[in-house]
C-alpha cells in the first residue's frame, strides 16, 4: 500500500510516519514545504529519511499543480493531511498564512483525491474547532465555535471536506485531536518550551492574571496514542464521519507547570507571569466515546510517568532542540 502524508516533517506527521514504517509494510510519500516547524529535521534525526520505503517530496499543498503531479506519479491509496499552520499566537498576528494553507491547501488535496479516486482521505483537525466549554465535554455532532484564526481555518477545511462527501461521495474521515505532547515537538509549545528553558535554568512564561492564574485547562494527548488512533480510525471508521481523539488527561496549565518544576527541583520563583493572549480559550474537553466504541485502547495514560520520560528525552537530545531555540 502506498500512503501520502502531507506535512510529514512536523511534530505529529513525523511521529506518524515513524509509526507506519516501523510497524507496517507500507511505502510512505511525505510531501512537506519545510517551514520553520520542520527545521529540526525530525525524520533525519529519527534515522528514517534513508528508509527504502520512504520518499520525500519538497512542496506546498497550496501549489495545485504540484499536488496534482504527486497524485499522478505516486497514486496513493490513502492520504493523511497533517499539513497545516498550527500555532495559535502566530495566527492572531497574521491570519493569511493560516487561511491559505489550512483552507486553500486542504482544498487542493481534496479535489485531487476526488479526481484520482483515492480510497480514503483522513483530514487531521483539532479539538479547538469546538471552542471553550465550562462543564462537560463536546461530542462530534456539537456546534463548532472556533475562537482563533487558526481554529477557524481548520473548521473551514472540515466543512469543505464534508460538503465534498455529500456532493461527490468524497471518502473522507475527520479526526479532532486533543493537545498533543511528546518527542520532537517544536520548542514554541508549552511543554518543550518550558522543559528546554528549565534545562538551561531559565524561567518559564506562564499566561497569568489575577482572575485566571494559569488555570486554563487542556486535555493532554500523547503523540503516539494520537498517531495510533488516527491510523485506527482510517481502518475502522466510516466515510463522512468525525472522530474525537481525547487525551483523557485534563489538567490546568498551572498543574503542568508545577509538574515540570518538580521534575527539576525548582519552585514557583521560576515562573514568569505573562499576559493571556487574545481570545484565550479557558477549557477544551472532548468525548472519546465514539473512538472507544470502535475498540481503540490507549497506551500512554500515566501523565506523570510520560512527562518524566519526556524530560529525560529533551535532556538527552539537546543536539536536536538547541539549534531551534537560537
Active-site residue set: 127-128, 150
- What is the spatial distance between Cα 127 and Cα 146, in angstroms, rounded to a whole number? 9
Q: Sign of dihedral through CA atoms 245, 109, 1, 34?
A: negative
Assigned C-alpha cell, 27: 511505502
Write the CB contacts of 148 (distance below 8 Å, at least 6 apart in sequence): 88, 91, 92, 128, 279
Taking CA atoms, 44 is separated from 33, 34, 223, in Å, by 16, 13, 18
Assigned C-alpha cell, 219: 486535555
CA dihedral 290, 139, 284, 144 (to 10 degrees): 130
Among candidate residues 270, 274, 264, 244, the one with its CA nearest the CA of residue 308: 264
User: How long, in residues, is the chain?
Assistant: 326
DSSP codes of every residue in 280-314? --SB--B--HHHHHHT---S---HHHHHHHHHHHH
Amino acid at each position: 500500500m502506498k500512503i501520502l502524508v502531507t506535512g510529514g516533517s512536523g511534530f505529529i506527521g513525523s511521529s506518524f510516519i515513524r509509526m507506519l514504517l516501523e510497524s507496517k509494510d507500507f511505502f510512505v510519500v511525505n510531501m512537506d514545504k519545510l517551514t520553520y516547524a520542520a527545521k529540526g529535521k525530525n525524520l533525519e534525526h529519527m534515522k528514517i529519511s534513508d528508509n527504502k520505503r520512504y520518499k520525500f517530496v519538497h512542496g506546498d499543498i497550496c501549489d495545485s499543480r504540484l499536488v496534482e503531479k504527486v497524485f499522478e506519479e505516486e497514486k496513493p491509496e490513502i492520504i493523511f493531511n497533517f499539513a497545516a499552520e498550527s500555532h495559535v499566537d502566530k495566527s492572531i498576528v497574521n491570519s493569511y498564512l493560516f487561511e491559505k494553507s489550512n483552507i486553500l491547501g486542504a482544498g487542493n488535496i481534496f479535489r485531487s483525491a476526488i479526481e484520482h479516486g483515492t480510497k480514503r482521505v483522513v483530514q487531521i483537525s483539532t479539538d479547538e474547532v469546538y471552542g471553550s466549554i465550562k462543564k462537560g465535554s463536546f461530542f462530534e455532532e456539537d456546534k463548532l465555535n472556533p475562537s482563533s484564526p487558526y481554529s477557524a481555518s481548520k473548521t473551514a477545511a472540515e466543512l469543505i471536506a464534508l460538503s465534498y462527501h455529500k456532493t461527490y461521495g468524497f471518502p473522507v474521515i475527520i479526526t479532532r485531536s486533543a493537545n498533543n505532547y511528546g518527542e520532537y515537538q517544536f520548542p514554541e509549545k508549552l511543554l518543550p518550551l518550558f522543559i528546554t528553558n528549565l534545562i538551561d535554568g531559565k524561567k518559564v512564561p506562564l499566561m497569568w492574571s489575577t482572575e485566571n492564574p494559569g488555570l486554563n485547562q487542556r486535555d493532554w494527548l500523547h503523540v503516539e496514542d494520537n498517531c495510533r488512533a488516527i491510523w485506527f480510525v482510517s481502518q475502522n471508521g466510516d466515510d463522512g464521519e468525525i472522530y474525537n481523539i481525547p487525551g483523557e488527561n485534563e489538567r490546568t496549565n498551572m498543574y503542568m507547570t508545577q509538574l515540570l518544576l518538580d521534575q527539576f527541583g525548582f519552585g514557583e520563583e521560576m515562573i514568569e507571569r505573562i499576559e493571556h493572549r487574545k481570545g484565550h480559550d479557558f477549557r477544551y474537553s472532548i468525548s472519546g466515546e465514539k473512538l472507544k466504541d470502535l475498540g481503540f485502547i490507549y497506551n500512554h495514560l500515566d501523565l506523570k510517568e510520560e512527562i518524566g520520560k519526556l524530560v529525560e528525552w529533551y535532556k538527552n537530545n539537546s543536539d536536536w532542540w538547541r539549534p531551534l531555540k537560537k
